[in-house]
Amino acid sequence: MRTANNRRWAVLLPALLLALGLAAGPVTAADPAAEPAATAPAGTAPAAAPATPAATAAPDASAAPTDASPAPGATPAPAGDASTRALDEQIQDLKQSVVDLNKDLFVLEEELLFPANTQVAVFVSMDVGEFFGLDSVTLKIDKREVSNYLYTPREVAALLKGGVQRLYVGNLKAGSHELVALFSGKGPNERDYRRGAALKFEKGVGAKYLELKISDRARRQQPEFEIKDWE
């Protein structure tokens, strides 16, 4: 009996220690008391390193005064301004390159995630909006909800100014599909208004662009919801 217990302990003890080690792992990393031990190896590097950073920093530091004082009679302020301007230009260039890189990455991501032959994009546009205050749009493709977007007053104002929003982008295989859009908001006389629009469309080889168009029908004093298929 005792030997059985011993055997069980022999199995359990390493598991216990392992589990404790796992549980304690992240704690020790965040534990301030453990920090010196954790930083000790890193601390040795700077201790050994000062020679190189100091050596490399020194010429720069010495170069700065020589650059800043080309003429003995010149005041130091303009030189300082020039170096600040140069630094500012460098920062602007760096920012521009980051923006360009971000744009390239975005395009690459779009191309990879939504290849042209399977891409479906749905856009929303709004005209006038006198009879309808947009609150939300729910989008279903082939009876599956793919988007439910709530509009803030700012976004509605942007749409009313002529903005077009890309509500959804996804992938669909070639063939026939059905798009259902449910619009909710405030209708004429500030009443809650909910209306749907549906479109059966054929997805071919190329990308498919669909537009949900909200417009006013002045003759009927009602909003109109239309789904337009951009060929």
Buried b / exposed e over 155-191, threshold 16 CB at 10 Å, is: bbeebbeeeebebbbeeeeeeebebbbbbbbebeeee
State the minimum distance, in angstroms, from the CB of residue 9 to another protein: 8
Strand partners for 87: none
Nearer to another protein, 6 or 83 (CB): 6
Nearer to another protein, 19 or 82 (CB): 19
Nearer to another protein, 25 or 59 (CB): 25
Q: How far apart are CA 77 and CA 89, in angstroms?
A: 18
Q: Which residues bind another protein (CB under 8 A)?
A: 5, 8-9, 12, 16, 19-20, 22-24, 26-27, 135-136, 149-155
State the minimum distance, in angstroms, from the CB of residue 178 to another protein: 25
- Spatial CA neighbour of 215 closest among 141, 140, 129: 129
Nearer to another protein, 52 or 152 (CB): 152
Residue 165: what are its φ and ψ, rounded to 5°? -105, 135
Q: Strands 208-217 and 175-186, how do they pair? A: unpaired
Tally Cβ neighbours within 10 Å of residue 83.
13
Nearer to another protein, 16 or 116 (CB): 16
State the minimum distance, in angstroms, from the CB of residue 16 to another protein: 6
State the minimum distance, in angstroms, from the CB of residue 202 to another protein: 33
State the minimum distance, in angstroms, from the CB of residue 118 to another protein: 27
